[in-house]
Structure 1
């Protein structure tokens, strides 16, 4: 069989089975493009797209995300330049049933040893130190997986024909009629393409009544966003106000397109303007990004959260305050992972008291079930990686665990080990991409360590080596240049103006995750302790940066990490302020830590009444308690008399607000601080964030401002007695 005959056979088989086929054209780049043009010519007037850095390409690789939500008969992906795992995942989803995905690659024997991806060459590492484990594993899947044809374009030899002789899919009529008693119009159900979609739209009818939550889960290509759009359009046609949110509007575009189409069918679309659909009866469908949507502006009747797994739990939880809410999410995907959504958010959903309805869409819309290209992509990119099943680790204790190195060669050689480890790393973050797998296997600055029990991974940590930068690179960073893969030195240098912060070498803990069946039982701390022991002599510090919550800050503090920074802007996706914590391991690391801990306390004294005046008081207290610097209040004798008089007598806070701020800061940082949570919130909100008495009293549930002021005086007394001068003591005795 020659190349032309192969293409004809692949296309014929793909069309007959309503599946896709993958054609690898390996060898010289120009010859590969010539072969791709010949292959496309064999298709009948195809809607085809080429992704390449070449000028004649339809899309540059940097813009390939624009293909999401679109379909093509064929997509050609040039893997010779600017290849990434993310881009591969995105183009796979754009190929329709009966179509071809064509990869142009170097000779498969040579591809793993080609120069590595420069994006993985984190300074001070060079591109020569980037390995080829990811591509070696990818090549193995191309050579062994059904539905993948390989042609050597240099010799013309067909190395694999990729033919599977599939059984044609059984076609059956989809029940497009509304279920009995349906509230949505018939047109919504007529627009469904599968029985699963009909079920999903039926479940989403519950958004018409308050107190309901609907969870819609599916892999890509199952029509979950379309179902959400049909539901949103139906509700808007009934006069309801539907707020739609997603990580970006692009993620929610299908919701709006389907809602608009349905409203047009119903002759109910009044206007479509800038992310808003207005229905003739006054209902509407409107998009807001997550940061704006969490406040539920204009009191929507229902909220639809698309790509919900790509948002953090804290942000998802805020949408439970809506009268009704739908969480629409991808089970396996690079925008976010449904497994993380299941484990991390389900508990919050169950606790909130909503009547929860769940629906799973399994039947593909654009190609037949069991499509070999989808199965190949899941394996090659580990989109369905998951930890060991609960029963295998549920009874494990930290004493049972073995500390082990998970280097890239071991992970590549052991698919079971790789899937369990990567599956846990997926759970450690609300957004995990195929590029994360690429970095895990090839980036020279990363180290992976784990605890295993009976051969199963129960806890895993991913560490990134940072710092050790040359003087010239540190100068560039200080002057504003971004340096890849050096997050903590970058923050300390460019934002906090420390020219020498990039000199010491450290390990940043990128992710740490423990199997949910044994969470909160000490595995995470045991794993960190082993990492510290292994690497302490090699580096100056360990560090971490994360969206700050009291629980997370306490976890890191218990493991001897201390706060040196709190960001002054919220993360656009998580909505949280980030904390940076360090654990010094050498004199240079200690010096770095000490100067930034000292500056952190000084910044927080005034920053909490400025950029951080909306920081949750419990978070503020947590990051302050976790610093290792202890500021001593420096008050004049007059200021000591004022604060003592306000606490013990008729004095006024407004006579010396700065003195109270100094006192509150010292008190909350003090490792001996014994304030109750309510007292600490009061000190943060009034003394440090400088909110007015009425706001503080209302936010903290005091019955009156007078009661709030008295409580503030009581909360100030321990610090006055601990730090106060003779003037404070004299004033206190006056009222005793």
Structure 2
């Protein structure tokens, strides 16, 4: 077919897509130079206002996006999106950008012929590959997997100037039945539900969920306009300012300028630190915000709306539902959930949305996983190449990993297929994944390079555990050993608290022994529940990050476990190394608590920190002084140093209501005003009363 005829055909297809209110997915295979020339001719033929471009050779009038701009794409729109895959295929960015294409717009993928493309390296996934793999040479499995999925989708496929496959056009979309400013009746219902949060009972939050393009962010802006007209003061927060842009845009367009100050955007980490109040807090893209932050905001604000994408590259909406909404059940029994299903930007049968959902495994399994403790369980191991013929199992694993972490993204799916040093161990029953663990094979770093890492002269990608052992813990020799780092562990939410995670970790330990892995490690955002889980499985803390995550206020902890193989005579020495690192960590944490970790929860401090061993025992005379304090016969100031030493000796045996304030006071050295606020005491005497009540019981047998 002549180029002019093909361009005319594309123009007609675009007009038809506009009439049907869909986006037009076009996959164009051929030689790079020819396709770029053809695309330039197409852009001269078709009218457009905004052109987005991914990859090299973007025209002067295009907005050229890079992989760091995913969240900047949220809420923005374009008429044409061109993906030049010849210079690399960034899966995360491709998935993110698809939602920007408007109805009647074109999604154009320029690529080599599939047979050649899947044999090529993918430099756009450089950040997913560990040392020493070279992204310009490494041939991963993601492209092969993705192209297999792509060829099953409803789209236009063009080879050079030949149309290889036509699109199956959907039926005409039904017109929307709503009056302005609403687009759909569902959106109007959502706005009414938001308004009710303000007028109804306190502590009845609303959770508004939808896939992308359903108008949930616009609903926030429309509702804010109506509330501002009532002189309500509103705050809105989101993972980034760009994620709240749609809501803010609708508000600024609908509300008069005199009311624009009634809605303010505040980053959520700032909301954690200040005392701002509002008649209503709006949280957009809540699934991409850590659950501890959402819980804190729920405590701070009595009227709040959480809006979130059900699933997609932004985060894991399904995980948000299962984890955070369980918390809502406990804290706010009258909370309400509302789902918007009807698309606004395009019709329900939009072929591009189906393509993205299917190719990137974004469809979540809503069926509850069945499990019988009496039936046989299989432990299976998968690596990158194994997924090519196990798409269904990969779908299950990726979905489950998404539930386990609030920011699982498409790049994590790509890493499973492209990184040969990642492995997944699954626990399965009747071909259903009950639990899984994601493992990164690390270490085996040459001694000279490990020494350079120790000196801070080099860093290597994809070896977090090995690098931390060499640099932070001054153990470069350990970085040269074979290590496994457990990146994530996930158990189906309905099957948790039944010991499946522990069984899975035991299986991993057995595999590690068989493969002569010397140490197992893990790193995660520190919480009391997770810490106890890993400690129960014989992992010991060896390092705590020096700065907390701005969003969640969680510190990252590194834990280690010695893997003792029967044939390894150095097993006892290896165990001693872990214990030594753990002791050193506990003492160092104790010494640096007030300077580096003033915000660390006292319960966690008591689980991790260890006072120096040279604290002398209290004499009988000192114990008597303490007893006199308990009888109100000695002032606190006189016995304070005695009480500090007594606490360092007996903190493990104290009840939490006593241990926590003593820890905050003596180990973290917080001020008295902060102590009173943190633990809800009205004055110092109330604290002393608590001390006397508990301490008198604990030392009575000693006097």
- TM-score, normalisation: structure 2: 0.89
Select the residue among 421, 433, 443 that pairs with 1:457.
Answer: 433
**Conserved in 2, the CA contact under 8 Å of 1:508 and 1:542?**
yes
Question: 2: distance between equivalents of 1:28 and 1:309?
Answer: 41
Question: 2: distance between equivalents of 1:535 and 1:593?
Answer: 17
**Conserved in 2, the CA contact under 8 Å of 1:64 and 1:90?**
no
Select the residue among 623, 628, 634 that pairs with 2:614.
Answer: 634
Partner deviation per Cα, 1:87-145 (whole Å, 9 max, x = no partner): 10122111111111111222211222212432222124444885532211211222221
The equivalent of 1:73 in structure 2 is 79
Cα distance change on mapping 1:448 and 1:662 into 2, 3 Å: farther
Q: Determine helix, strand or coil for the equivalent of 2:428.
A: strand
Select the residue among 537, 546, 550 that pairs with 2:524.
Answer: 546
Question: 1: distance between equivalents of 2:194 and 2:243?
Answer: 19
Question: 1: distance between equivalents of 2:471 and 2:343?
Answer: 48
Question: 2: distance between equivalents of 1:692 and 1:285?
Answer: 36
- The offset of 1:595, in angstroms, is 4.0
Select the residue among 14, 28, 36 that pairs with 1:11.
Answer: 14
Please show how residues 173-322 of structure 1 align to structure 2 within 5 Å: 174-176=177-179, 190-209=180-199, 210-264=202-256, 268-269=258-259, 277-278=260-261, 284-294=262-272, 297-321=275-299, 322=301
Question: 1: distance between equivalents of 2:616 and 2:655?
Answer: 28
Tell me, yes or no, if structure 1 residue 379 matches structure 2 residue 358: yes
Q: Determine helix, strand or coil for the equivalent of 1:355.
A: coil
Select the residue among 461, 469, 484 that pairs with 1:484.
Answer: 461
The equivalent of 1:187 in structure 2 is none
Unpaired segments of 5 or more residues in structure 2? 565-570
C-alpha root-mean-square deviation of aligned residues, in Å?
A: 3.0
Cα distance change on mapping 1:632 and 1:44 into 2, 3 Å: closer
Cα distance change on mapping 1:122 and 1:402 into 2, 3 Å: same
Partner deviation per Cα, 1:462-499 (whole Å, 9 max, x = no partner): 01122222345431464265432222334444445555
- The offset of 1:503, in angstroms, is 2.9
**Conserved in 1, the CA contact under 8 Å of 2:235 and 2:282?**
yes
The equivalent of 1:369 in structure 2 is 348
The total of aligned residue pairs comes to 679
Question: 2: distance between equivalents of 1:263 and 1:31?
Answer: 49
Select the residue among 151, 171, 174 that pairs with 1:170.
Answer: 174
Tell me, yes or no, if structure 1 residue 436 matches structure 2 residue 412: yes
The equivalent of 1:88 in structure 2 is 94
The equivalent of 1:281 in structure 2 is none
Cα distance change on mapping 1:15 and 1:710 into 2, 3 Å: closer
Select the residue among 48, 53, 66 that pairs with 1:50.
Answer: 53
Question: 2: distance between equivalents of 1:661 and 1:386?
Answer: 54
Question: 1: distance between equivalents of 2:640 and 2:90?
Answer: 55
Q: Determine helix, strand or coil for the equivalent of 2:594.
A: coil
Partner deviation per Cα, 1:669-706 (whole Å, 9 max, x = no partner): xxxx3332223213311221123456445544567634
- The offset of 1:86, in angstroms, is 0.9
Question: 1: distance between equivalents of 2:448 and 2:550?
Answer: 32
Question: 2: distance between equivalents of 1:235 and 1:77?
Answer: 41
Cα distance change on mapping 1:201 and 1:128 into 2, 3 Å: same
The equivalent of 2:28 in structure 1 is 25
**Conserved in 2, the CA contact under 8 Å of 1:467 and 1:489?**
yes
Partner deviation per Cα, 1:361-381 (whole Å, 9 max, x = no partner): 112112111101100100111
The equivalent of 2:596 in structure 1 is 611
- TM-score, normalisation: structure 1: 0.85
Q: Determine helix, strand or coil for the equivalent of 1:240.
A: coil
**Conserved in 1, the CA contact under 8 Å of 2:25 and 2:107?**
yes
**Conserved in 2, the CA contact under 8 Å of 1:642 and 1:652?**
no
Tell me, yes or no, if structure 1 residue 151 matches structure 2 residue 141: no
Please show how residues 582-621 of structure 1 align to structure 2 within 5 Å: 582-586=560-564, 587=571, 589-590=574-575, 592-621=577-606
Cα distance change on mapping 1:126 and 1:709 into 2, 3 Å: farther
Select the residue among 302, 324, 334 that pairs with 2:303.
Answer: 324
Unpaired segments of 5 or more residues in structure 1? 177-189, 270-276, 279-283, 625-629, 722-731
**Conserved in 2, the CA contact under 8 Å of 1:490 and 1:502?**
yes
Tell me, yes or no, if structure 1 residue 140 matches structure 2 residue 148: yes
- The offset of 1:449, in angstroms, is 0.7
Tell me, yes or no, if structure 1 residue 529 matches structure 2 residue 521: no
Question: 2: distance between equivalents of 1:36 and 1:715?
Answer: 78
The equivalent of 2:568 in structure 1 is none
Partner deviation per Cα, 1:209-257 (whole Å, 9 max, x = no partner): 3333111111111111111111123222322221211111111111211
- The offset of 1:716, in angstroms, is 7.3
The equivalent of 2:330 in structure 1 is 351
